[in-house]
Amino acid sequence: MKIEISVLTDNIASSRCLGEWGLSFLIEAGDEKLLFDTGRSFTALHNASIIGKNLAGLNAIILSHGHYDHTGGLGNILKQTGKIKVIGHPDIFNPKYAHRQPGTAPYYIGIPFSRPLLEKAGAEFVLTSEPYPVSGSITTTGEIPMTNSFEHTDKNLHEVIADNDYPDPLLDDLALIINSGSGLIIIAGCCHRGIVNTINHAIKLTGQNRIHAVMGGFHLYNAGEEQVGKTVEFLKETGVERVYAGHCTGFKALCALQQGLGEAFAPLSAGAIFEL
């Protein structure tokens, strides 16, 4: 099966494309044409046109979680697609906030649209905490168990439920698994629940331990040396053949991945197209 993944949004951009803090991938796998996340604003649409990609004819949109930098482009994209299945976790519409600076007010980082507005624009939501089969060879992970001691959700991220403020467990954080026939391809948004946990969950779900490629944001930009080091060692020991990281991975972690994985690693940039 031919698989082509185009980076429509990332913090870094290739020539003539626009970068922003966000992520979006166009996935063309056999007869499936999927959008994984939508970026923060209009960059996914803009960059798709720059690299000669058309978002018409999408089979589905998958949302990795409910943060604005992965969902903010959805409104504009629905204007092009019209009625379309949008797959995610039931918690994506929970009010989400960040507490970054002590003594300052939290600020909203959730989906910048209401569900009724998106449904009016054509979104047909399929929200489930379980793995969801997108096609015969593609599935979401559903909720990702946290099974190791060194990966943690970001303590600065919160949810407000019934006027009560809680640390956000990021249960809505999911990834996409493609069974390529040459190993698994795992596509992640931010890996708030950990890239190692994500890969281990994908292996358990599918019963396959050959990982052809892992791609996405690894949320290591504020991680300590222990987590970064153990992540690199896990990727090496697990034999992941290709690692493509960007967005929230962070400069230090990107350097560690490059140093530890060598030619098996490449950074993401908007406008890049990977054939896997």
| pLDDT tens by residue, 46-86 | 999 999 999 989 999 999 999 999 999 999 999 999 999 99
pLDDT tens figures, 156-171: 999 988 778 889 999 9
pTM for the structure as a whole: 0.97
Spell out the SS3 assignment of the chain.
CCEEEEEEECCCECCCCCCCCCCEEEEEECCEEEEECCCCCCHHHHHHHHCCCCCCCCCEEECCCCEHHHHCCHHHHHHHHCCEEEEECHHHHCCEEECCCCCCCCEECECCCCHHHHHHHCEEEEECCCCCECCCCEEECCCCCCCCCCCCCCCCEEEEECCEEEECCCCCCCEEEEECCCCEEEEECCCCCCHHHHHHHHHHHHCCCCEEEEEEECCCCCCCHHHHHHHHHHHHHHCCCEEEEEHHHCHHHHHHHHHHHHHHEEECCECCEEEC
pLDDT (0 to 100) of residue 165: 84
- Tell whether the model's pLDDT for residue 102 goes beyond 80: no
